[in-house]
Amino acid sequence: MPVNFFLENWYLFAVAIVSGGLLVWPLLTHGSVGGVKVSTADAVQLINRERAVLIDVSEPAEYAAGHAIGARNVPLANLETSRDLPKNKSLPLLVVCPTGQRALRAVGVLKKLGFENVRAVAGGLGAWRAANLPVEKAA
């Protein structure tokens, strides 16, 4: 009897498996809880509560055109040799760039340099602006 039920209703089991997978997928890809990416809202909380340092890995011209207030400019190509990174490697670092793609690469580089708590701001500066968070231009 149970085998007949399964065979007659296989599509319901398939829908249940697919919907469960779709519910878990964002947790795996967007890295909530301890992952690589962080939302702009979570980034602001980390800055305010844990004194996270915002690192902008944009090129100097991109940084000058507009960046999150308080962000330090350390271009991706200069990460490994930069003296502008915090000395305390356990301090939370938030990495941002215009779209978020370079920031993801920078997270890997910073982790190799020994930084323990590094995350990319999902969506980059575009998401930062969309959330109406403060942006400034270099003088």
Catalytic residue chosen out of the listed positions 44, 52, 71, 97: 97
121 three-state secondary structure:
strand
pLDDT tens by residue, 5-35:
777 888 887 888 888 777 776 655 544 445 6
pLDDT at site 35: 65
Task: With 0.75 as the threshold, say if the pTM is over it.
Answer: no
82: left (phi over 0), alpha (psi -120 to 50) or beta: beta
Active site residue 80: no
Calculate the dihedral angle through the C-alpha atoms of 15, 17, 22, 25, rounding to the nearest 10 degrees. -170
pLDDT tens by residue, 94-139:
999 999 899 999 999 999 999 989 999 999 999 999 999 999 987 6
